[in-house]
Amino acid sequence: MKQRTFFMLKPDGVKLEEEILARIKSVAEIVAIKKYARLPLEKIAQLYEEHKDKPFYPWLVDYLKDNPATLMILEKKDGLNEDLFSLIDKLVGSTDPKKALPGTIRSLSPDSLEVAYSQNRAVQNLVHRSENETTAQREAALFFDVF
Ligand code: GDP
Ligand code: MG
């Protein structure tokens, strides 16, 4: 069975869909896709359950709520030996776009943690990716019937 994961274009990522998907397709195929014109609060709360007590949580909700988002199930391409989560991690880059290495998806964002923090908002870093098999299963189930 080929490795699968869950992936999301955040509202700023939706605007760069073509560029981001071109990078993703170097390691994975999109096997399912769902586009929301407005991401419901309930889905955000479920997706980011682990962060609900963090100080940045309300900012995260503001960033995502009632904005477009694209959800995907990705499957590792044939012929790649590396673990899918490690491949996607490298492709996505650091949470802080300012620290994201050139060539990574998050390096495409002009934002930084520092600026976001000074403006009391979540950092706009284009995408969400599941960290491992267990989270991928949980997160995919929030949006898709079959994983
Ligand atoms: P990720 O796995 O790299 O997406 O990062 P986390 O799971 O730790 O955080 C979820 C999302 O919350 C991040 O992608 C950011 O959009 C936002 N975020 C996380 N930490 C901070 C922070 O310290 N400050 C701000 N402003 N936003 C944050
Ligand atoms: Mg995370």
Residues designated as active site: 128
pLDDT at residue 142 in the model: 98
pLDDT tens readout for residues 11-61: 999 999 999 999 999 999 999 999 999 999 999 999 999 999 999 999 999
pLDDT for 146 beyond 90:
no
pLDDT tens readout for residues 67-114: 999 999 999 999 999 999 999 999 999 999 999 999 999 999 999 999
> Percent of the chain at pLDDT above 70?
100
Separation between Cα atoms, residue 123 and residue 146, nearest integer Å:
31
- Residue 8 near residue 72, CB atoms below 8 Å: yes
pLDDT at residue 74 in the model: 98
Distance 67 CA to ligand 2 centre (A): 19
60 lines ligand 1 (CB under 6 A): yes
Q: Name the closest-CA residue to atom 11, ligand 1.
A: 60
Calculate mean pLDDT across residues 118-144: 98
Q: Can you list the domains of the chain with their CATH numbers?
A: 4-143 (3.30.70.141)
Distance 130 CA to ligand 2 centre (A): 7
